[in-house]
Amino acid sequence: MFTKEDNQVLDRILQARWTCRSFSDEIPYKEEVEAVIEAGRIAPFASISSKDVTPFRHFFVLFKGDPRLQVIDRLIREQSAVDLEMAEAEAEVDPFLMEHMPGLRGLWSNVAQNGVPVFPDPPCMIVAAEWRGARRAERQSLAHMMENMWLKATALNLDFGLLSVIESMVDNQEFCDLFGLPVERYGFLACVLGHHKGEVRTAHPATAEIHWPEDC
C-alpha cells in the first residue's frame, strides 16, 4: 500500500522531469545506468507480439568515447536528410503537412547538416530495441519503456534527453549491424543520460483541457 508521502514524491518527480539538450562531460555511474535500464526493462509490452522471442527487448549502453557514437552521429544526419525528402514528397498531397513544412524543413535541414545538439560524443547513450512482431506495437512498448527510464533518471538526479530520430533506423542496415540485430525486425528508441551543461531550462508547460460529463 502506498502512502500519501509516496504519492507526493511521485508528483515531485513528474513535475521535475525535463528534456536536456546540452550535457557536460561527466559520465553517469554504471550503477545509475543499470537502475535506469531496470526501470525500462519492467515497462509494459505487447505480449502477443513478443511471446515467441527471447529476449524480445535489448538495451545497448554506449559511453563517451565509444566509436559507435561517431557512426550514429553520421547516420542521424543522413537519416534526417532522408526523412526531409520523404516529408517534402508527402506534403505535395497533404495540405496540413504542407502548411507546417517550413518549420519541419528548418528543423530537419539543421539536423542533417549539424546533427542533434547532444552529439558528437554524449556522456552516455542507451539504445533500446523492441521486437516488432505481427501487431507492430513496438512503438507503444518503447514509449512505455522510455517513460519509465526518464522518471527513474529524474529520481536519480540525472538529466535525460530523448532521441526520437532513432525511431527511423528500423530499416537502416548499418545501424542494425552496429548492434548485431536484423533489419526491420526491431523498433528502436534512444536516450542520453548525464548531467546538464549550463542552466536548467524550465520545461514547456503542458496545455490541456479536461472535458467532464455534465453531471460531475
Q: What is the pLDDT of residues 45-87, one digit of tens each?
A: 876 666 677 788 999 999 999 999 999 999 999 988 888 888 8
For residue 55, what are the contacts with CB-CB under 8 A and spacing of at least 6? none
Give the pLDDT mean for 170-174. 94
- Which CATH code for domain 20-66+120-194? 3.40.109.10
Tell me what pLDDT residue 151 has.
Answer: 97
CB burial of 155-186 (b: ≥16 within 10 Å; e: otherwise) equals bbebbbbbbebbbbbbebeebbebeebeeeeb
Q: At what angle do helices 67-91 and 95-114 cross, to 10 degrees?
A: 160
Share the mean pLDDT of the chain: 89
- Determine the Cα–Cα distance for residues 112 and 165; give it in Å rounded to an integer: 11
pTM for the whole structure: 0.90
Percent of all residues in the chain with a pLDDT value above 90, rounded to a whole number: 58
- What is the pLDDT, as a whole number, of residue 82? 85
Return the domain boundaries, the chain.
Answer: 20-66+120-194
Residue 135 has pLDDT above 80, yes or no: no
